[in-house]
Structures are given as structure tokens and as C-alpha cells.
A and B are shown apart, each in its own frame.
Chain A
Amino acid sequence: MTRRLIVLASLVALLLAAAIAELALGAVKVPPGEVLDILFGSGKTGPNHQIVESLRLPRTVEALVVGAALGVAGAILQGALANPLASPDVIGVTGGAGFGAILIIVLFPEKIALLPIGALVFGLLAAALVFVFAWTGRNRGSIAKVVLAGIAMLSLFTAGTTGLLAAFPEKAPSAIFFLAGGLTSSGWESLDTTWPYFLAGAVLVVFLIRPLDRLALGDDVAASLGSRPQLIRFGAAVAAALLAAASAAIAGLLAFLGLVVPHVVRMAGRTSSQTFVVPASALGGAALLAGGDTLARTVRAPIELPVGPFMVILGVPVFLWLLRRAL
């Protein structure tokens, strides 16, 4: 119990540090004290105020929201599918979102503002198709059926994406940034469109935490305790689809985060109880994305590296090291 509290407290500290770094660092360095002044309004106006409030603050909030959403989406999918490999990939969301974004880039290059909508709509569409195939017919809602339908849909949409890029190679440069995953300083617009999806996903998750713990003891135990296993899995998949599609709309494809963060917090907390794993994954995901984005913006400044691959390259060795120690 105390171990969990220590982990949660450390994650909160990391998250605050990452958020302040994201606000303070960059081409213009703003001292942390001034950042706090700007945020909590001892009313200075000036260039630093502009930079922090209209460029870095929206980006920081995006990083925190997307990081938390992907961490939670991974945690609940791994729980619901009793599968350590589960991430928003396996319900088709990532594949669909990628296709939707590339479709906008290729077909409506003059309306690039539609890109988040394309990613969101196709991400949810792919997940909906997975649900249609996985939750009908025999053994509806079984783990194998969900995972197989999801992987099939992922392959289909990924093939569509690759096909489009091969047919329109001149569009590839603008597509790469989205596929790699990264944040932009485009203000509050993308959050304006996506917040209802994040909110709906988050509310659903709150109701799923306890049923998911029951599901960990198997479908029979969960059912005998009064839960409906297929319904829990469906709810978890819907919540993860909402969170991951909205995340993809803002930040492109960052699947790695959703896969890894829940494992790291389980290892750190030495428990897979969802009452711990879900909030810890939210904090950890937010801290990781904000911290990763700060690094990606600053290591080769003024060049901004896309945070997706950067995080993966830094994250994989850490993850493998943890894996070796844990198993």
C-alpha cells in the first residue's frame, strides 16, 4: 500500500517537473519562477508571457492530456483482453487514424485543418468495425475474437495508408510527421474539437475500474460476481477507442506509450490492481509525453524532433532493462 502511494507521489512529482520544463524550456528560456508567475497571473504582459501562454501552455496541456489518455487506454485494454501486448493498435484505432489522416493529406491538401477530424473519424470507424465483427456471432466478445478482428483491421488500414503513400509519394513528407507522432504549437484548436471524446472516454473508464479487476480473475469469476464479461470488454474497448482516436487526432501515432506505460507502473507498484494501474498510467503517460516532448524540442534546437520516434528510441532500452529485472 505504501509502495503504491510512493509510486503515485513520485509520478505526480515527475509530471509537475515535466510540465514546468515543457513551459520553461525552448528557444527562449523562461525561468520556472516566471513561468509560475505567468500561469497564476501576477499579470505581467510581455514576450515571455506570450510565448508561455499562447505557444507552450496549449502544447503542454496537449502533451499531458494525450499522454494520460494513451496510458489509460493501454492499461484498460491490457486488463480487458488479459493480454500484455494490448494497446490501441489491437482494436484498430491506430491503423484507422493513420489512414484517415493520410486521406486528408492526399485528397484535401488545401484543407489540412481537417486532419484531426479525419484521424478521429477513421480511428473510431476502424474500432467500430472491430466491434461489429468481434461482438457478433459465436463466442462474441471473446478475447481471441477481439484481438484477431483488431489485428485484421489494423492490417487493412495500414495497407490503405501505405497504398496511398505509394500512389502519391510527393505527399509522403507531410504524412511522416503524423505517422511518427508529435505535438505542435498550434494553440487550443485541436483540444477544442477533441475534448468531448477525451471526457467521454475518461468517464467510462471510471466505471470500468472495478469490473476490470473482477475480469482479471477470469470470465467465470467476473460473471458469478454479477458482471458481464463481454460488456466489460466492450466498454473498455469503446473507452480506449475514444481516448486513442482523440489522441491520434492531436498528436499522431504514439502507440508505444500506451503499450509501455502500464507495464512500467505495474512493475513499479508491484500490483496489477486497476485502482492503482489506471491512475498511475494516466500520471505516468502524461509525465512521459510532456518530458519526452521537452527533450525532443530542445536537444537539437532549433530543430524539433518528432516526439514519437524520439520517445521510442529512449524508451525501449529503459523498458527492456525494467523487463529484465522484473521477470
Chain B
Amino acid sequence: MEAAAPTLAFPLPLEAYDVRVKIGGTAIVHGATLQVHPGELVAVVGPNGAGKSTLVRAICGLQRASAGVIAWSGREVRSLRGRELARLRAFVPQRMPVPAGVTVREAVTIGRSSQLRVLGRMTRADRDAIERAMARAEVGRFAERALVTLSGGELQRVQIAIGLAQEAPVLIADEPTSQLDLGATVEVAGLLRNLTAEGLTVLLVVHDLALAAAIADTVVVVSKGRTVAAGPPRQVLTPERLADVWRADAWLSEHDGRTALHVAWLGQR
């Protein structure tokens, strides 16, 4: 993919050009480019080990990129301090440790603490932001329960609420549904789509291609550490690409907002 220079006049919420990441001397990502427009839901897809999570961590500033440009609203990620970055994006990791003795409300409050000054006190506005985040992620009902008592789906929504409490314009989630059953996946997918409709920009790492096709405006395909395609799901997730990138004989179908991945599980008949 051709790498263009970032357009700084009208900066996008997030742009990444030719990003390279090495972990312990091993190149994991070698040439990833993506752009995220305001108010869209972008799904990063790709096979296991393609470097999706590493790429997303680098974009979020959690992992140092060895080369390339990552710009949040036109500002290089390297030049941003942790607290500034926390105002521009929220990151929801794949699995959060679940500490004993922490309630949902406390966890969401911790998310909001990123917006406070060192030793600064919570203001009315901060408390409102916490309530709003819990309402938007629909966790208000069990706000006083301990995290350890929650189901996987509830916990995922709490993690999203922690991110929403930051009130950043972009929410990034690494495989938010990979641990969830069907019903909980539907719930979380609907929640993320609703948040996008409310104006939030969302970037997800997703494993499930049928899910990505159903909820994403744009799909970015990562293969062997490179971004190899980006665009609307139906244009990008073609049978040729599924064969090429995932080495599977499969095709996506869509009917009435329902998507399905039809796979020749045992190879060609």
C-alpha cells in the first residue's frame, strides 16, 4: 500500500502511515497504514498472529513504533503525554484483570481519573461524566456490584464504560467480543454501533468476519504485519481475499442486516 504524508490542515481523528513495530528485535508490524474518519466504525481484521493487536497498541501509544507516523488529530503520538493522549482516545484491552473489592462505579471512576490533575479532586462535571458513561454503556443497573460478580458480557460493558468516562472522541477496543457468547456479542455489537451513531469514532480489532461485516463502516485487513486492504466490508472481504489472507474457501452473505460467513470447512468438494 502506498504511504502518503499526513494531511495536517484538516486532521483526521487518527492517521497511521507505514507503521513498523519490533518487539524484542522481532518485527511484528512492518508497514501498516490506516485512516479513521470522524464518526465511523472501523474494524481491523486479519488472521491470528498478523499483528493486529500490536498495531493497535502502537497506535494507542502503549507500544513504541520503530518507524512510521501515528497522528491523533494531527499530533504525533510520540509528542503526546499520557494524559493528553487519554483525552484523545480510550483503549479497551482484550482482557482486564478483575480485582477483588472494586465495584463497577469505582472502576468507571478510575477511568475518569485520567482527566484529573495530579491530586486534583473530582468536580461535579467529572461525576456527571461517570454517570453518563455508565448510562451509555448500560451498566448503571449494577453500578454498586463488585466486578468479580459480573458475567463476561457485563464486564465487557464495564470496560467500555471505563473508556467512555474519559470522554475521548475515539474508542479503541481489542477483540471486545472474543470471550463472549452469542447473546452477549450481539449486545456489545449493538452498543458499539449505537455509540457510533451518537458521534463516537470507534476502532475495533475483530476476529469474527461476519460480525465485522455487519457492524463496520470500514474494514482494514492486516496480513503478515502489513495492511493489505481497506474499505467497505463487502468490497474488501471478497472470496478471493478470504482465500488469499485466511487460506479458506469462504464467502460472506448479507440479508436484512444479517450476515453470515459460509465456509467450506473441510476444503473444496
Contact yes or no, A220 B91, CB < 8 A: yes
Contact yes or no, B62 A217, CB < 8 A: no
A249 CB, min distance to chain B CBs, angstroms? 29
Q: Can you list 19 A-B contacts (CB < 8 A)?
A: A82-B99, A138-B24, A207-B119, A210-B113, A210-B116, A214-B114, A216-B99, A217-B107, A218-B93, A220-B62, A220-B91, A221-B162, A224-B89, A224-B90, A225-B111, A226-B81, A226-B83, A270-B101, A273-B106
B91 CB, min distance to chain A CBs, angstroms? 4
**Chain A residues in 8 Å Cβ range of B12:** none
CB-CB under 8 A for A223 and B82, given A207-B118, A218-B93 = yes
A279 CB, min distance to chain B CBs, angstroms? 15
Q: What is the total of A-B residue contacts with beta carbons within 8 Å?
A: 77
- In angstroms, Cα B103 to Cα A213, docked, is 12
Interface check A271, CB cutoff 8 A = yes
Q: A226-B81, A271-B103 are in contact. List 4 more A-B contacts (CB 8 A).
A: A213-B113, A220-B93, A224-B60, A272-B102
Interface residues of A in 180-223 (CB under 8 A from B): 206-207, 210, 213-214, 216-218, 220-221, 223
Interface residue tally for chain B (C-beta within 8 Å): 31
**Chain B residues in 8 Å Cβ range of A225:** 82, 86, 110-111, 113-114, 166
Interface check A266, CB cutoff 8 A = yes
Contact yes or no, A224 B102, CB < 8 A: no
Interface check B129, CB cutoff 8 A = no
Contact yes or no, B83 A272, CB < 8 A: no
**Chain B residues in 8 Å Cβ range of A270:** 101
**Chain B residues in 8 Å Cβ range of A218:** 93, 96-97
- In angstroms, Cα B102 to Cα A270, docked, is 9
Interface check A227, CB cutoff 8 A = yes
- In angstroms, Cα B60 to Cα A221, docked, is 11
Interface check A140, CB cutoff 8 A = no
**Chain A residues in 8 Å Cβ range of B229:** none
**Chain B residues in 8 Å Cβ range of A82:** 97, 99
- In angstroms, Cα B86 to Cα A227, docked, is 10
Contact yes or no, B100 A272, CB < 8 A: yes
**Chain A residues in 8 Å Cβ range of B93:** 218, 220-221, 224
- In angstroms, Cα B101 to Cα A272, docked, is 5
Interface check A228, CB cutoff 8 A = yes
Q: Which 6 A-B pairs have the closest CB atoms?
A: A226-B82, A272-B101, A224-B91, A225-B114, A220-B93, A226-B83
